[in-house]
Amino acid sequence: MFTHSIRRRLVIGCVLALTLAACGRSADTPEAGGQATTTVSDGPATGDLTVWAMGTEGENLPKLMEQFQQANPGAKVTVTPIPWDAAHNKFTTAITAQSLPDAAMVGSTWMGEFADLGALDPTPQGFDNAAFFPGALDTTKVKGVQYGVPWYVETRLVYYRKDLATKAGITTPPTDWAGLKAMAKAMKDKAGAKCGINLQPGGTGSWQTVMPFAWSAGAEITADDQKTFTLDTPAMQEGLQYFQSFFTDKVACTDLPPNQTEAQFVNGTAPMFISGPWMAGSVAKAGGDAMKPNIGVFQLPKNKTATSFVGGSNFVVFKNSKNKDSAWKLVKWLSEEKTQAAWYKLSTDLPAVKSAWQDPSIASDPLLPVFGKQLEDAKAPPSIVNWEQVAVAFDTEIEKMVKAGQSPADTAKAIQTKASQIGTGGS
């Protein structure tokens, strides 16, 4: 999924080792202004290709394309970097004008919308989907059809101060819900923290912390057909109750200044928080060399499951591309293990291809392998057109629950009502 919390990029969210089947291409339905690709030819890519990518990815991708062009000397790739704040409008305008690039980086929260508009080419046969992290692969699917592949991924872990955990009598990270609550309480009562754990008390993006607890209790956002919401269930209420309990038990705080997570972690005000891999570098920078050995992470604790959130970006080919065969060859190349490892070294974007995590640049890191383990059990919201609107309503009700004491039952009911009024969107 694509979110601003991923190093100021929209989330949502993996690319894996792909093997493309031989032989030409055939059509399915042309109503969207182009024929869908079913297979991709053998041989190198040729011709001109245009690619759009956002943020730092757009700045770094031309360096990677030099390697692709060396391997495919008959192809020329032109990358257009796009600022995040202009990206969505640029895409939707280009869809209307039928002036899209051949391929692009697209966040999972936009997949449903772009697929509904008929802009995306379904993924051809021959891609090894088993190579991808399952939760990331799911972000490419809209109403059962796969569009593109996961390109890079992120997920969320619990960060904690090792030295303060020792002071609090915690020698082994917890693995279940009760253990996480007990650890947060010990951080406050025994290690002197103002807040045992830093949890966002509602507001923009808070659903990303709440939903893993709900998923772990067995909740789902929609029914399997992705046409109806299922946000008011006993499992959802259980997840909401657990999240709220950190605040009612006063081991999490509602009054921490925002956007100061690193400083609060370093000074011990809040020595635990839940976030993604980019925070490891941010905390190390804020705390200096003395802090680095005291940064610990562990997987989300288990209820029925131990599910976290998966974000990142997908890579797609547009149905109106005049060079789809070579565009899909580019996507295949981006999904190869060696390319994934090379991209991590250029960008620090974590590979969507599981085998790429064996590269020493990742495997030898003291923290990153734990993110890889968590990615085996990580989910994103379904790729529905109106998810962003539903997320705003979700965040609003979470804030009422945390700050105004609204019950989990009423919160789940309110989220369901608002979501149903918004609808899933699309045709």
pLDDT of residue 264: 98
Does 105 lie in the same domain as 130?
yes
pLDDT of residue 5: 37
Does 283 lie in the same domain as 345?
no
pLDDT of residue 35: 65
pLDDT of residue 212: 98
pLDDT of residue 307: 98
CA distances from 133 to 149, 322, 344, 375, 376 (A): 11, 31, 16, 6, 6
Whether 402 maps to a domain, the answer reads no
Does 293 lie in the same domain as 319?
no
Q: 363 and 369 in contact (C-beta within 8 Å)?
A: yes
Does 102 lie in the same domain as 240?
no
Q: Which domain holds residue 173?
A: 157-308
Does 185 lie in the same domain as 173?
yes
Does 136 lie in the same domain as 65?
yes
Q: What CATH number should be reported for the domain holding residue 210?
A: 3.40.190.10
Per-residue model confidence as pLDDT tens for the chain (427 residues)? 444 333 333 333 333 232 222 223 333 333 334 567 788 899 999 999 999 999 999 999 999 999 999 999 999 999 999 999 999 999 999 999 999 999 999 988 899 999 999 999 999 988 999 999 999 999 999 999 999 999 999 999 999 999 999 999 999 999 999 999 999 999 999 999 999 999 999 999 999 999 999 999 999 999 998 999 999 999 999 999 999 999 999 999 999 999 999 999 999 999 999 999 999 999 999 999 999 999 999 999 999 999 999 999 999 999 999 999 999 999 999 999 999 999 999 999 999 999 999 999 999 999 999 999 999 999 999 999 999 999 999 999 999 999 999 999 999 999 999 999 999 997 7
pLDDT of residue 39: 86
pLDDT of residue 284: 96
pLDDT of residue 34: 55
Whether 319 maps to a domain, the answer reads yes
Whether 133 maps to a domain, the answer reads yes
